[in-house]
Copies of this chain bind each other. A is one copy, B any other.
Amino acid sequence: MRLTNWTDYSLRVLMYCAASEQREQPATIGEIAEAHGISRSHLTKIVMTLSGLGLLETTRGRGGGLRLLKPAHTIVLGEVVRQTESDFTLVECFDAEHNTCRLDGHCRLKGALREAMDRYLEVLDGVTLADLVAPAASTRGGQRVHFVPGLPRPLDVAVRRSRVSAGGESR
């Protein structure tokens, strides 16, 4: 009864991208891989899947990277999990193909588990990517200042400010 790391990482990628939305540069696979200590190669496949699902936009080449295709508050957790998680065969009898349970059709387990699973996903349907990334601390005070290791640094502002104060170098 656990989600795959695949799903776990998928969510982290999305969160990273969500937190990168304000930045000028898009997030890159290498960046995220490093932030979470995962292999670039592996993470690439996850990103490709998310891209295939229409959640991410990827752009190749220098200056490329990843961007969310929809605003974070419209990306629903339940939907993501439904799509990244491969196996919802809660017990054997869910898999019509390989089912050998002799009670199939006689017992009410399947119905109960299906109902339970529905409730599970229902909860996740009430959560969006934006909710996940929102700072856990107090809402008042506005701007988030603190640094979160697994997310892009909120330095753009500072950098931009320092650029200005440094006398406007071109880029």
Chain A residues with CB under 8 Å of chain B are: 1-5, 7-8, 11-12, 15, 35-37, 77, 85, 87-92, 100-103, 105-109, 112-113, 115-117, 119-124, 127, 131-136, 148-151
Contact = CB atoms under 8 A, between A and B. Distances in A.
A80 to B, nearest CB: 11
A102 B104 CA distance: 44
Contacts of A136: 105-108
Contact of A102 (B35, B113, B121, B122): B35
Contact of A2 (B36, B89, B116): B89
Contact of A36 (B7, B102, B112, B117): B102
A72 B119 CA distance: 25
B109 A116 contact: no
A122 B115 CA distance: 10
A153 to B, nearest CB: 12
Q: How many copies does the complex hold?
A: 2
Contacts of A87: 1-2
Nearest to A91: B8
A91 B109 CA distance: 25
Given A112-B123, A119-B120, A122-B119, A103 B7 contact: no
A171 to B, nearest CB: 29
Nearest to A116: B123
Given A1-B3, A1-B90, A108-B136, 16 more contacts: A3-B113, A7-B91, A8-B92, A12-B101, A15-B107, A36-B100, A102-B149, A106-B148, A108-B132, A112-B124, A115-B123, A116-B119, A116-B120, A116-B124, A119-B119, A119-B123
